[in-house]
Structure 1
Amino acid sequence: MVQTPIKTSKVEKLKERSNFLREPLLTELKQDTTHFSEDAIQILKFHGSYQQDNRDNRVKGQEKDYQMMLRTRSPGGFIPPELFLALDKLSIEYGNQTLRVTTRQGFQIHGILKKNLKEVIKNILSSMGSTLSACGDVNRNIMSPPPPFKNKPEYQYAFEYANNIADLLNPQSGAYYEIWLDGEKAISAQEAPEVVAARKSKGKGMIVENSPEPIYGEQFLPRKFKICVTVPGDNSIDVYTHDISLVVMTNKKGELQGFNVLAGGGLGRTHNKEETFARICDEIGYIDKADVYDLVKAIVATQRDYGDRFNRRHSRMKYLIHDWGVEKFKSTVQGYLGKELKPYKKLPKWEYQDFLGWYEQGDGKWFFGIGVENGRVKDEGAFQLKTALREIVEQLNLPMRLSGNHNIILCEIAPEHKETVENILKNRGIETDPEAIEPLTRYSMACPALPTCGLAVTESERALPGITDRIRSLLNKLGMVNEHFTIRMTGCPNGCARPYMAELGFVGSAPGKYQIWLGGTPNQTQLAQPYEQKMPVEDLETFFEPIFVFFMQNRKAKESFGSFCSRVGFAAIRNFSANYTIGSYMDTDTTKRKFRKNQRRVSVPDEVFPQLKEIAQKEGRPMNQIIADALSDYFTKSKEA
Structure 2
Amino acid sequence: MTTTNKETVLTGPGPLIVEGKQADNERLKADSNFLRGTIVDDLKDQTTGGFTADNYHIIRTHGMYQQDDRDIRNERSKQKLEPLHNVMLRARMPGGIIKPEQWLAIDKFAQESTSYGSIRLTTRQTFQFHGVLKPNIKLMHQTLNSIGIDSIATAGDVNRNVLCTSNPIESELHQEAYEWAIKISEHLLPKTRAYAEIWLDGEKLEGPEGKETQEPILGSNYLPRKFKTTVVIPPQNDIDVHANDLNFIAIAKDGKLVGFNVLVGGGLAMTHGDKSTYPRKADDFGYVSLAHTLDVATAVVTTQRDWGNRVNRKNAKTKYTLDRVGVETFKAEVEKRAGITFETTRPYEFTERGDRIGWVEGFDGRHHLALFIENGRLLDSPGKPLKSGVAELAKIHKGDFRMTANQNLIVAGVATEDKAQIEKIAREYGLINDTVSKQRKDSMACVAFPTCPLAMAEAERYLPGFVTDVEGILAKHDMSDESIILRVTGCPNGCGRAMLAEIGLVGKGPGKYNMHLGGNLAGTRVPKMYKENLSEQDILDEMDMLVARWSTERNSHEAFGDFTIRTGIIAEVKNSKRDFHD
TM-score normalised according to structure 1 size: 0.82
Residue number in structure 1 paired with 2:207: none
Q: Distance in 1 between matches of 2:154 and 2:570?
A: 42
Matched, 1:172 2:174: no
Indicate conservation of the 8 Å contact 2:66/2:85, yes or no. Answer: yes
Residue number in structure 2 paired with 1:203: none
Deviation of the 1:383 alpha carbon: 0.6
Q: Distance in 2 between matches of 1:401 and 1:496?
A: 20
Q: Distance in 2 between matches of 1:79 and 1:38?
A: 35
Cα displacement string for residues 81-106 of structure 1 (whole angstroms, at most 9, x for unaligned residues)? 22211111111111111110000101
SS at match of 2:9: coil
Cα 1:41–1:271 change in 2 (3 A) is: same
Residue number in structure 2 paired with 1:193: none
Cα 1:572–1:486 change in 2 (3 A) is: closer
SS at match of 2:249: strand
Residue number in structure 1 paired with 2:105: 86
SS at match of 1:84: helix
Residue number in structure 2 paired with 1:465: 464
Moved more, 524-533 or 351-360: 351-360
Deviation of the 1:469 alpha carbon: 0.8
Indicate conservation of the 8 Å contact 1:350/1:525, yes or no. Answer: no
Correspondent of 2:117 among 70, 90, 97 = 97
**1:72-471 → structure 2 map (5 Å cutoff):** 72-95=91-114, 96-149=116-169, 151-183=170-202, 211-251=213-253, 253-431=254-432, 433=434, 436-471=435-470
- The alignment's C-alpha RMSD in Å is 1.8
Indicate conservation of the 8 Å contact 2:564/2:570, yes or no. Answer: no
Cα 1:29–1:322 change in 2 (3 A) is: same
Residue number in structure 2 paired with 1:508: 507
Indicate conservation of the 8 Å contact 1:211/1:217, yes or no. Answer: no
Cα 1:482–1:352 change in 2 (3 A) is: same
Cα 1:153–1:397 change in 2 (3 A) is: closer
Deviation of the 1:406 alpha carbon: 0.5
Indicate conservation of the 8 Å contact 1:294/1:337, yes or no. Answer: yes
Indicate conservation of the 8 Å contact 1:258/1:286, yes or no. Answer: yes
Deviation of the 1:398 alpha carbon: 4.0
Matched, 1:11 2:54: no
Indicate conservation of the 8 Å contact 1:516/1:533, yes or no. Answer: yes
Q: Distance in 2 between matches of 1:270 and 1:330?
A: 27
**1:14-93 → structure 2 map (5 Å cutoff):** 14-32=28-46, 33-58=48-73, 59=75, 60=77, 61-93=80-112
Residue number in structure 2 paired with 1:579: none
Output the amino acid matched with 1:230.
V
Deviation of the 1:254 alpha carbon: 2.8
Q: Distance in 1 between matches of 2:370 and 2:199?
A: 34
Deviation of the 1:405 alpha carbon: 0.6
Moved more, 415-424 or 45-54: 415-424
Output the amino acid matched with 2:126.
G
Output the amino acid matched with 2:322.
I
Q: Distance in 2 between matches of 1:495 and 1:130?
A: 24
Structure 1 gap segments, 5+ residues each: 186-209, 574-641
Cα 1:55–1:349 change in 2 (3 A) is: closer
Q: Distance in 1 between matches of 2:571 and 2:286?
A: 38
Q: Distance in 2 between matches of 1:478 and 1:572?
A: 25
Output the amino acid matched with 2:244.
H
Indicate conservation of the 8 Å contact 2:350/2:522, yes or no. Answer: no
Q: Distance in 1 between matches of 2:234 and 2:395?
A: 35
**1:572-583 → structure 2 map (5 Å cutoff):** none
Q: Distance in 2 between matches of 1:265 and 1:572?
A: 20
Indicate conservation of the 8 Å contact 1:235/1:523, yes or no. Answer: yes
Matched residue pairs, number? 545
Q: Distance in 1 between matches of 2:213 and 2:568?
A: 53
Q: Bigger relative contact order, structure 1 or 2, given CA contacts below 8 A and separation 6+?
A: 2
Q: Distance in 2 between matches of 1:184 and 1:366?
A: 44
Cα 1:572–1:400 change in 2 (3 A) is: closer
Residue number in structure 1 paired with 2:16: none
Q: Distance in 2 between matches of 1:148 and 1:541?
A: 37
Output the amino acid matched with 1:561.
F
Deviation of the 1:184 alpha carbon: 6.0
Cα displacement string for residues 277-333 of structure 1 (whole angstroms, at most 9, x for unaligned residues)? 000101111112111101100000000111011111010000000112211111111
Deviation of the 1:401 alpha carbon: 0.5
Structure 2 gap segments, 5+ residues each: 11-18, 205-211, 573-582
Cα displacement string for residues 425-450 of structure 1 (whole angstroms, at most 9, x for unaligned residues)? 221223254xx321111011100000
SS at match of 1:320: helix
Output the amino acid matched with 1:73.
R
Larger radius of gyration: 1
Indicate conservation of the 8 Å contact 2:177/2:257, yes or no. Answer: no
SS at match of 2:54: helix
Indicate conservation of the 8 Å contact 2:528/2:571, yes or no. Answer: no
Output the amino acid matched with 2:99.
P
Deviation of the 1:156 alpha carbon: 2.1
Deviation of the 1:130 alpha carbon: 1.0
- How many percent of aligned residue pairs carry the same amino acid? 39
Cα displacement string for residues 100-134 of structure 1 (whole angstroms, at most 9, x for unaligned residues)? 00001010010100121010111011112111111
Q: Distance in 2 between matches of 1:499 and 1:526?
A: 11
Indicate conservation of the 8 Å contact 2:167/2:233, yes or no. Answer: no
Deviation of the 1:158 alpha carbon: 1.5
Indicate conservation of the 8 Å contact 2:398/2:414, yes or no. Answer: no
Cα 1:572–1:30 change in 2 (3 A) is: closer
